[in-house]
């Protein structure tokens, strides 16, 4: 996810075990080259794979905002690992908080409130200069 044109994900680390059965798919993900393709697609993200023997695999994401997220990928398929990497890439890293009251502002939008009657994309837009 990008906030004001700045991608929020700074660093992506994949931790896996060298011999553990729960890390089979994580090792396959790294061997298959999908992580190299990801690193080529997002050059601003630092990508690394780290060996951590005797533990279950997980993916850790560090964000520009200072937050970090960890997602366990124990016994997950390659498709699920790919979805986790995409989810972490598209996330901003901020904690989810419930909005309990309506948000009020001192500076309302100059665009006004959207209504279905404002369907201007379907109508022709002609400007006549005199």
SS3 for the chain is: CEECCEECEEEEEEEECCCCHHHHHHHHHHHCCHHHHHHHHCCCCEEEEEECCCCCCEEEEEECCCCEEEEECCCCCHHHHHHHHHHHHHCCCCCCCCCCCCCCCCCCCCCCCCCHHHCCCCCCCCCCCC
**Alpha-carbon distance 89 to 112, whole Å?**
32
Tell me the pLDDT band of 1, cut-offs 50, 70 and 90.
low
Angle between helices 78-90 and 34-41 (to 10 degrees): 20
Specify the pTM.
0.72
- Range in 26-35, 83-92, 111-120 with the lowest mean pLDDT: 111-120
Mean pLDDT of 65-72: 92
Contact 9, 42 (CB under 8 A): yes
Write down all domains in the chain, each with its CATH number in brackets: 7-90 (3.40.30.10)
Q: For 71-87, what is each residue's pLDDT tens digit?
A: 999 999 999 999 999 99
What pLDDT, on the 0 to 100 scale, is given for residue 101? Answer: 85
């Amino acid at each position: 996810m990008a906030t004001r044109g700045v991608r929020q994900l700074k660093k992506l680390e994949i931790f896996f075990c060298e011999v553990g059965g729960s890390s089979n798919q994580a090792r396959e993900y790294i061997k298959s080259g999908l992580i190299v393709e990801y690193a080529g697609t997002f050059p601003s993200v630092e990508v690394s794979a780290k060996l951590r023997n005797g533990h279950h695999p997980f993916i850790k994401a560090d964000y520009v905002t200072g937050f970090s997220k960890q997602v366990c990928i124990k016994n997950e398929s390659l498709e699920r690992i790919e979805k986790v990497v995409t989810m972490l890439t598209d996330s901003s890293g901020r904690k989810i908080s419930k909005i309990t009251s309506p948000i009020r502002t001192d500076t309302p939008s100059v665009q006004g409130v959207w209504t279905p009657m404002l369907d201007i994309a379907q109508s022709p837009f002609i400007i006549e200069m005199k």
